[in-house]
Amino acid sequence: MKKLIFKLHYAGKILTGEKITTIRLSTNLKEDDVVEVYAGHVRIGKAKIKKVYRKKLSELTEEEIKADGFNSREDLLKSLAKIYGNKVISSNPQVYVIEFQLV
């Protein structure tokens, strides 16, 4: 089974439904996939992938940013830079927005 892995501190937001998307530089996930969801090394459940689409990082809307659990674009960019590096994020890459729902 495919996995969707998050940092441990996102567990609460995922479980409460505050975080219903994730933004990634690459993915092998498709709509209707059922995946195991991990926060850190802890399995927190399964999720169904509702939608996967691609767009430029700079084109993300405030709604998409909030659905990913961030308060602002700046917070999102800081978090992505920690994962992928400043150089990659500052190049305005194409990103995948993955919408999911715990099942």
User: How far apart, in whole angstroms, are the C-alpha atoms of residue 13 and residue 29?
Assistant: 21
Mean predicted lDDT score pLDDT of the chain: 95
Place of tokens 């920690």: 82
CB 12 within 8 A of CB 100: no
pLDDT given at position 29: 97
Per-residue pLDDT tens over the stretch 40-65: 999 999 999 999 999 999 999 999 99
* Mean predicted confidence (pLDDT) in 31-37: 98
User: How far apart, in whole angstroms, are the C-alpha atoms of residue 84 and residue 42?
Assistant: 22
Q: Which domains does the chain have, with CATH numbers?
A: 3-102 (2.30.130.30)
pLDDT given at position 36: 98
pLDDT given at position 62: 94
pLDDT given at position 81: 94
